[in-house]
A = this chain, B = another copy of it.
Amino acid sequence: MISSKAIDAAIETLFGNLEFQSRPAGLYDPLRYMIAIGGKRIRPRLCLTTYGIFADEITPSVLEPAAALEIFHTFTLIHDDIMDRSPLRRGNPTVWKKWSEDTAILSGDVMCIDAYKHLAKAPAQVLPQAMELFSKTASRVCDGQQLDMDFEKRSSVSMNEYMEMIGLKTGVLLACSAQMGALVAGADGWSQDSLYEYGYYLGLAFQVADDYLDAYGDQKVFGKPIGGDILNGKKSWLTVRAMEKGAEGLADALAAPALTPEEQAAKIARVMDIYASVDVAADARKAISDLSSRAVFKGSDAAMGADGVTVLENFAKSLLGRTA
Contact = CB atoms under 8 A, between A and B. Distances in A.
Interface stretch (A87-95, A139-147, A172-180, A270-278): A139-147
Contacts of A142: 27, 106, 109-110, 113
Interface stretch (A2-10, A127-135, A184-192): A127-135
Given A127-B128, A150-B24, A150-B26, A105 B120 contact: no
Given A83-B106, A150-B26, A139 B114 contact: yes
A189 B23 CA distance: 28
A322 to B, nearest CB: 31
* Interface size, A (range): 35 or more
B112 A83 contact: no
A23 to B, nearest CB: 8
Given A24-B147, A26-B146, A128 B124 contact: yes
A108 B75 CA distance: 13
B105 A143 contact: no
Contacts of A127: 124, 127-128, 131
Given A142-B106, A146-B27, A150-B24, A131 B120 contact: yes
A79 interface: yes
Interface hub of A142, A143, A149 (most chain B Cβ within 10 A) = A142
Contacts of A21: 139, 143
Contact of A139 (B110, B119, B128, B131): B110
Contacts of A23: 143
A116 B23 CA distance: 25
Contacts of A117: 132, 135-136, 139
A312 interface: no
A167 to B, nearest CB: 14
Given A26-B146, A27-B146, A106-B79, A113 B128 contact: no
A202 interface: no
B109 A79 contact: yes
A10 to B, nearest CB: 23
A56 interface: no
26 contacts: A26-B149, A27-B143, A27-B146, A76-B109, A79-B105, A79-B106, A79-B109, A101-B101, A102-B149, A106-B142, A106-B149, A108-B109, A109-B112, A110-B139, A110-B143, A113-B135, A113-B139, A116-B116, A116-B135, A117-B132, A117-B135, A117-B136, A117-B139, A119-B131, A120-B131, A124-B128
Given A116-B131, A116-B138, 14 more contacts: A21-B143, A23-B143, A27-B142, A27-B146, A76-B109, A82-B105, A106-B145, A109-B109, A113-B135, A113-B139, A116-B135, A120-B135, A124-B128, A127-B131
